[in-house]
Amino acid sequence: MTDVAGGLAVLASALFAGAAVYINLVEHPARLSCGPEVAARQWAPSYKRATAMQASLAIGATLAGLARWLGAGGPLWLVGALLIVTVIPFTFIVIMPTNHKLLEPGRDNSSAETLRLLESWGRLHAVRSALSVAATLVYLYALV
């Protein structure tokens, strides 16, 4: 059972990391290249769709890592779980204020402020990418 938990922790963390890195390296730069108005309009539905997927993966990767750690998996499983779970409070505390500003009704999506918020969002999201890649690497190291 603990081997299954370890495999699920690696899988969920790697899927989260892959999606997060894709957003930072491909999707967000592409949307920004269209100008702030188009970028903001595309960002909103993309953000809403990604939220459910990424939240599920972060929670799953955390719970599976904790299960593996509790099953005498060693301290690296706890470290991996702590790294991946960190994306959740980081999102709520640090990124969410930017999200709320970008989603404000009546926002001028063509403004310099909107562009600044979108650029800031990309930098903040990169922290989520780094945390999830780190968690995945720790989980992989613990697995082997």
pLDDT (tens digit per residue) in 84-111: 999 999 999 999 999 999 999 999 999 9
Neighbours of 10 (CB within 10 A): 22
10 vs 8: CA distance, rounded Å:
5
24 vs 142: CA distance, rounded Å:
27
The two tokens of residue 78 are 């706890």
> What stretches in the chain show pLDDT beneath 70?
1
pTM of the entire predicted model = 0.95
- The rounded radius of gyration (Å) of the Cα atoms in the chain is 17
